[in-house]
């Protein structure tokens, strides 16, 4: 899969509310009510990632979930990252 240029990435990011470009990754940092809510969201995202066959790099500390997306097979950001980022944003917004 082809990596997107910085211009293409910035153009797509304008359509997303929660995501930024940091060090070659699409990044978001989300705060939930507590650990249970954060982990429940991780479970939902995990099923989505598996369905898309595209998986996040993430870390969880108590109620915070930080997610970094890139395509390691392509060594950059691709449409797959935007597809997963969009789905995550939709899930969070309900
Ligand atoms: C064969 C399998 O679909 C690939 O290895 C997928 C799995 N999940 C992946 N996830 C991410 N983030 N990047 C990849 O390049 C990637 N490759």
What is the Cα–Cα distance from 47 to 53, expressed in whole angstroms? 10
pLDDT score of 78 more than 90: yes
Model pLDDT for residues 54-63, shown as the tens digit of each residue: 999 999 999 9
Q: Does domain 6-93 have CATH number 3.30.1360.20?
A: yes
Domain boundaries, the chain: 6-93
User: Using an 8 Å Cβ cutoff, are 86 and 18 in contact?
Assistant: no
Give the Å distances, CA to CA, from 77 to 20, 28, 60, 62, 91.
Answer: 12, 15, 22, 28, 21
- DSSP annotation of 4: P
Give the rounded percent of residues in the chain with a pLDDT score beyond 70. 100
Query: How large is the ipTM?
Result: 0.96
**Mean pLDDT within 66-88:** 98
Report the pLDDT value the prediction gives residue 1, as an integer from 0 to 100: 85
Mutate to test the pocket of ligand 1, among 1, 27, 53 (most ligand atoms within 8 A of CB): 53
Is there an atom of ligand 1 within 6 Å of 12 CB? no
């Amino acid at each position: 899969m082809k990596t997107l240029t910085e211009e293409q990435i910035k153009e797509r990011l304008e359509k997303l509310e929660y995501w930024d470009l940091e060090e070659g990754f699409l990044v978001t940092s989300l705060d939930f009510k507590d650990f249970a809510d954060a982990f429940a969201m991780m479970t939902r995202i995990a099923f989505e990632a598996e369905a898309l066959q595209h998986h996040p790099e993430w870390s969880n500390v108590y109620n915070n979930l930080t997610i970094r997306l890139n395509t390691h097979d392509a060594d950059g950001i691709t449409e797959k990252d935007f597809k997963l980022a969009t789905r995550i944003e939709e899930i969070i917004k309900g």
